[in-house]
Structure 1
């Protein structure tokens, strides 16, 4: 983005200072905006103010030809709309050509989750005698018990756990903090890991760390490391479905709602800023209710 370096720096200040955006969010904005800048260069468009509805229409066609989903296209439009909005505010451009562009209607897929039997299979077949096994059980128990994101999980420190109140202090998106409770199974798994397995792993390196979850060398575990662990667990036990961190989050929310939890409570636990984001899980619950009704009511079927 050499040509529009100054414009990007202006926008970057907005993201960092005003939005307090996380690094991942900034990276996504950079990716989407530079993608459009490259399109402009290919079309011999040298100024941001040259962009009009026809150019945007051609750009959208390019995105769809590249196989992007409606969700990804909507994200690109939203990023560029915000980009131009800030440049307008800073008097860099006079208008925002993306302001009137409608976002494509997105399909709302039902999130995939694990059934009770699948969770029991995973946890009952894991080895709790080794340091890494204790760590892995603690990760799955905690993520299933709290619904935290994998990025939130790897950031947890020893100071973030309150075993008396059985809560963890989670640093979520936009550096927003929330307290999330956990149950007895997660408490037992965490206690066993911290008192035994974690000590063995941390002793492998000279420097100490406050992060709860560490790798085989005693260094802080990464999000990619957690994904690798889950992949290996699924492979080892012959699980027929994919196991990834967000599926544990989906499972947490779905099981709570299926057992009568209030939607707004689940929203708070998940750290969702809006209720509409949480409502996607009600589709799963309604689907389950329908199946139960069809199987249980004597006059549901002929």
Structure 2
């Protein structure tokens, strides 16, 4: 047997071995479980509905912005008033730099922009950036919010994802994707999330189940009893 033949046999053996170990674990986290339940979203909306401090005004603006735009953490902290423009139908668009460097657009409701401006005016914030750090004690200086700062803020909201893990920035993006894909379809979800293809959107945000009980439990041929 030549040396070359031996090398080929060895390569094929390693390839098959790699394939055997390439199984998906049942414990691997599912994309849909990274989001928040509707009930958790309602809890956060209620918690931030009557802000009194600068922190609570910022929390309300951040929660509404992230749960409507679906932007990534880096895109959120980079959002500026100078990047707002009018769409062809009069909608307010936020231009931002997507992952990979391309330009993306997010539609922002006028009342959301008004809430962000209200957060600024309440505390005399004069800046192009939407979101800022809190001033230190006996100081008035603020800095544009950093990605690390945003992660800390969202984590401090202290609610759980469907997986039971503490909330993180991407959990809100997952929630947006899941709801849009379910209620508006893959193209709408793709455009809001800024994916290059609806296939990417469907791959990560399609729920791997369907609740058919509302149809099945009404069937005359099926009687479900408890106990």
Task: State whether TM-score is above 0.5.
Answer: yes
Equivalent residue for 1:225?
A: 149
Select which of 111, 131, 141 maps to 1:213: 131
Deviations 1:24-66 (A, max 9, x none): xxxxxxxxxxxxxxxxxxxxxxxxxxxxx86xx6xx99xxxxx
1:125 to partner: Cα distance: 1.0
1:244 to partner: Cα distance: 0.9
| Structure 2: gaps spanning 5 or more residues | 1-9, 136-141
Equivalent residue for 1:195?
A: 121
| Structure 1: gaps spanning 5 or more residues | 1-52, 62-100, 203-208
With normalisation by structure 1, the TM-score equals 0.54
Measure, in 2, the Cα distance between the counterparts of 1:162 and 1:120.
30
Measure, in 2, the Cα distance between the counterparts of 1:232 and 1:270.
24
Equivalent residue for 1:167?
A: 93
Larger relative CO (CA 8 A, sep 6+): 1 or 2?
2
Select which of 46, 51, 59 maps to 1:124: 46
Q: What does residue range 105-124 of structure 1 map to in structure 2 within 5 Å?
A: 109-111=30-32, 112-124=34-46
Measure, in 2, the Cα distance between the counterparts of 1:143 and 1:162.
19
Number of residue pairs aligned between Structure 1 and Structure 2: 190
1:294 to partner: Cα distance: 1.3
Kept in 1: contact 2:181–2:206 (CA 8 A): no
For 1:169, what is the secondary structure of its paired residue?
strand
Equivalent residue for 1:253?
A: 177
1:281 to partner: Cα distance: 4.9
1:154 to partner: Cα distance: 0.7
Kept in 2: contact 1:108–1:280 (CA 8 A): no
Deviations 1:218-274 (A, max 9, x none): 111111111111121226xxxx75211111001111111222x13122112211123
Alpha-carbon distance change, 190 to 162 in structure 1, aligned in 2, over 3 angstroms: farther
| Structure 1 stretches of 4+ moved >4 Å | 103-108
Kept in 1: contact 2:181–2:202 (CA 8 A): no
Measure, in 1, the Cα distance between the counterparts of 2:213 and 2:23.
32
Kept in 1: contact 2:182–2:206 (CA 8 A): no
Kept in 2: contact 1:294–1:301 (CA 8 A): no
1:115 to partner: Cα distance: 2.2
- The question of 1:295 aligning with 2:218 is answered no
With normalisation by structure 2, the TM-score equals 0.70
Kept in 2: contact 1:231–1:243 (CA 8 A): yes
Measure, in 1, the Cα distance between the counterparts of 2:186 and 2:171.
19
Structure that is richer in helix per residue: 1
